[in-house]
Amino acid sequence: MKKSITLILILLLTAVSFAQDSKFIYATMDAADAVYFKTLHPDEMTILASNDYQAAVFISEEVTHSIHDNVTTHGPGYIFRSSKEKALEALERVEPKKLLIDYTITEDAFVNECLDLVDGQKIEDVIRVLEDYGTRYHTRPQAEQAVLDLQTRWDNMISAAGRTDIHTRIFTHVNTPMPSVILTIDGANTPDEFVIIGGHIDSTASPSDDDAPGADDDASGIATLTEMVRVLLAKNFVPNRTIEVMAFAAEEVGLVGSDEIAAKYAVDGVDVAAYVQFDMTAYKGSAEDIYITTDPYNSTELNDFLMELMDHYNGSGAHAFTYGTTICNYGCSDHASWANYGYNAAFPFEAAFGEHNPNIHRAGDTFAFLNNTDHAVKFAKLGLEFLIEAAKPQILSVEDFSELAMNIYVKNKTLNYQLKNTASNVKQLEIFNVAGQKVFSDALNNASGEVKLEHFSQGFYISKFVLENGHSLTQKFILN
């Protein structure tokens, strides 16, 4: 009897202390803001440590809401940390391990063809689908469903385009039940170098009992990214570097999803050449169109590159729009996670800070309030310019072809091939037109064979035979 009472007591005590613990979280935030919030909520906040820029804090749920509520006027935010150790660790500045990337603008013709295809209606369709889930708060089943359905949408687009070099995957998290989804387009020449663009798919309401359809924040970003993928698929784009498009979980509760993903990339030593965030793309609140955020944690080089792209592609003509600069003042969105781990990050925003959509985190953040996608279309264009120029189309070399390795000839619109060293088989044949676009791709498993090309128009092509051993042989041929 006595024993069971003790047991019940222990269980009760554990439950109570767990309930109390779960109301407090570890986080890092701007050092000056931490001092300010400590004066507002002395009993609900502990500053564990701080450096010149950031403080590690232990804060109550009320304080996190108070931080959120101040965002539109004041601008502080916080980054969730799963333990005291993680919060303290995050204070140690990560030395940027910046991958040297050639920020050049060389793909004029292809980029302009892509810009012509951007369709605002498609962006609207996806925003409307996402706002119909209701609040996509990270603990709600609707949030997870939105992620799974987005994955299905992307998968359907990929299979309709017949692309076997593009995949999606779910990233499950430790600190939120909500998953993230990642789309990967394998780089053809330097697949270990990554160019990444993303946005968050969760939403939040404050006060927390309100609705948060999150049309602008951030269904707009997800819809803009989806439209960019549609255009790249329509143009059969094969990048040189690997491209990833990410829809993050749980941004609104302290960059939880992107922090876990960026941390994993950093631990795995993944070379991310550049990261760009699309969070709120559909509301025009200021005189210029796109505002590049110039907070000190962002990459100056990457920001300069985005501005050069807009000077080059959007200075005049059919795709013209304007840009300015602004600052968030804090780690206001997922790009801060990538910057935290030393990667080049940038965040082009919909307006000057403070003139952005006044309805975010509220029931009024609907497509009806946005009215159209004219603004988001500009972001889709900048996003395409960025992905194509930073990842570059596949480099086709004819130098790696050895006459000794492979025989090919074309007769009656049929390509015949024969591998001389039969120790390896041909695994894949790809054919490109002179514009570098992939016009044919088929899985093979032999050392010789023929491929009928009767539906191809006359002209110059490049064949690429990928062998079992990973080598590839490239050869030009003429079809007449």
Catalytic residue set: 200, 217, 251-252, 279, 361
CB closer to ligand BES, 124 vs 252:
252
Q: Which residues contact 403 (CB under 8 A, 6 or more apart)?
A: none
Q: Which residues contact 340 (CB under 8 A, 6 or more apart)?
A: 79, 90, 94, 259, 262, 297, 331
Q: Rounded to whole angstroms, how far apart are CA atoms 290 and 282?
A: 10
For the CB of residue 214, give the shortest distance to Zn ion in the complex, in Å: 8
For the CB of residue 353, give the shortest distance to ligand BES in the complex, in Å: 6
Query: Should residue 31 be labelled a site residue for ligand BES when binding is judged by CB under 6 A?
Result: no
Residue 188 is given by DSSP the state S
Which residues 365-424 are close enough to bind ligand BES by CB under 6 A? none
Of positions 59, 196, 332, 345, contacts ligand BES by CB under 6 A: 332
Instruction: Tell me whether residue 263 is exposed, middle or buried, using C-beta atoms within 10 angstroms of its C-beta: 0 to 12, 13 to 18, 19 or more.
Output: middle
CB closer to ligand BES, 260 vs 430:
260
- Alpha helices in 235-299, H assignment, sequence order: 256-267
Of positions 165, 193, 227, 279, contacts Zn ion by CB under 5 A: 279
CB closer to ligand BES, 248 vs 465:
248
Query: Should residue 346 be labelled a site residue for ligand BES when binding is judged by CB under 6 A?
Result: no
Q: Which does 353 bind (CB under 5 to 8 A by kind): ligand BES, Zn ion, none?
A: ligand BES
- Of the ranges 35-43, 266-274, 330-338, 364-372, which one interacts with ligand BES (CB under 6 A)? 330-338
Query: Should residue 353 be labelled a site residue for ligand BES when binding is judged by CB under 6 A?
Result: yes
Q: Which does 158 bind (CB under 5 to 8 A by kind): Zn ion, ligand BES, none?
A: none
Residue whose beta carbon is closest to ligand BES: 77
- Alpha helices in 118-185, H assignment, sequence order: 120-131, 141-160
Q: Rounded to whole angstroms, how far apart are CA atoms 458 and 480?
A: 5
| SS3 of residue 130 by DSSP | helix
Query: Should residue 214 be labelled a site residue for ligand BES when binding is judged by CB under 6 A?
Result: no
Q: How many CB atoms lie within 10 A of CB 386?
A: 23
Query: Should residue 217 be labelled a site residue for Zn ion when binding is judged by CB under 5 A?
Result: yes
| SS3 of residue 64 by DSSP | helix
Place of tokens 């663009």: 197
Of positions 144, 218, 227, 365, contacts Zn ion by CB under 5 A: 218
Query: Should residue 217 be labelled a site residue for ligand BES when binding is judged by CB under 6 A?
Result: yes
- Alpha helices in 239-365, H assignment, sequence order: 256-267, 300-314, 335-340
Q: Which residues bind ligand BES (CB under 6 A)?
A: 68, 71, 77-79, 217-218, 251-252, 254-255, 279-280, 328, 331-333, 349, 353, 356
